[in-house]
Chains A and B, each alone.
Chain A
């Protein structure tokens, strides 16, 4: 690796790296966990990572605040999505008496 010539947190690439790690963790969590709630939480992780990236890039090109605005809307939509998603989880639970996503395989074959 290259020598760190700037302090942590003062270069764009640090934030990109962190966002990448968070996104990867969120993605892996979504793909591997069978609990629907944990899957939803992983999705939130991925969204947060994206927000971080957006804001970091916005700070790097700081002439306008479009990045932050975008992140703002992402937060709003994420909230709405969580609400509806949890409603779906509850309906699913009522139907299958479990919240293992493996139970949602009606499209099998």
Chain B
């Protein structure tokens, strides 16, 4: 078997095993690790398909950001993150089971159709030089894909703001006591008790009231 075939086979196995671990693991950390494995496998396949830039992006963004986010949230949630095992509090779930079986079956059927029909497979023609390189990619991205690129920027900004907005507690619920900044404490208003001890001021000049700015 050639090196390419071996590489492809290894990466495929890694992907599939990772996927299985993701969907079957009880512990979500294990699931996240499975996802990471799949992503890594995919990145390898990208390399096999001569999409080097994309492979790098995949690793940076997916493995380096998305999976990390997942892990953060799992650790934040603590033990409760392990909820929802298969079979826990069995309720009527006919539709999901049926459709997942259908899913797998349809996929199998499609595979059979594809596999059975063609007697010859579509081989990859040799690609030109610089295919999948960052320069070629950049050229395309900043010419034809400029608008989507900018929009993606906006999208990411919105996503960040949105995430913060969603997670923030409802405004006004708890009055947040904001402390005065150091600059303000130095140049504006009377001396607060906590600074008085530090700076050795006369007691009379101390302002007892806490600032509630």
Contact = CB atoms under 8 A, between A and B. Distances in A.
Nearest to B12: A18
Interface in B26-49: 28, 31-32, 34-35, 38-39, 42, 45-46, 48-49
Given A18-B15, A76-B61, A11 B123 contact: yes
Interface string A5-42: 11111111111111011111111110111111110111
Interface in B1-58: 1-2, 4-9, 12, 15-16, 19-20, 22-25, 28, 31-32, 34-35, 38-39, 42, 45-46, 48-51, 53-54, 57-58
Contacts of B20: 25
Contact of A65 (B62, B132, B155, B158): B132
A63 B110 CA distance: 28
Given A76-B152, A93-B77, A11 B84 contact: no
A6 B96 CA distance: 38
A93 B23 CA distance: 21
Contact of B70 (A8, A37, A58, A87): A37
Contact of A90 (B53, B76, B89, B159): B76
Contact of A59 (B9, B42, B124): B124
Contact of B111 (A20, A65, A87, A97): A20
Contacts of A34: 83-86, 88
B32 A41 contact: yes
B181 interface: no
A78 B66 contact: yes
Given A44-B66, A75-B58, A99-B80, A5 B152 contact: no
30 contacts: A2-B118, A5-B120, A6-B121, A8-B6, A9-B4, A10-B8, A18-B45, A21-B16, A21-B111, A27-B103, A33-B23, A34-B83, A35-B85, A36-B84, A37-B28, A38-B22, A41-B32, A44-B35, A44-B62, A45-B23, A55-B46, A56-B49, A62-B124, A65-B132, A66-B144, A71-B54, A76-B155, A82-B69, A83-B69, A102-B91
Given A86-B70, A102-B84, 18 more contacts: A2-B119, A6-B123, A7-B1, A7-B4, A7-B5, A9-B5, A21-B111, A22-B38, A25-B20, A26-B19, A37-B32, A45-B19, A48-B38, A60-B124, A75-B58, A76-B155, A91-B166, A99-B81
Interface of B: 1-2, 4-9, 12, 15-16, 19-20, 22-25, 28, 31-32, 34-35, 38-39, 42, 45-46, 48-51, 53-54, 57-58, 61-62, 65-66, 69-70, 72-74, 76-77, 80-86, 88-89, 91, 96-97, 99-100, 103-104, 107, 110-111, 114-116, 118-125, 127-128, 131-132, 136-137, 140-141, 144-145, 148, 152, 155-156, 158-160, 162-164, 166-167
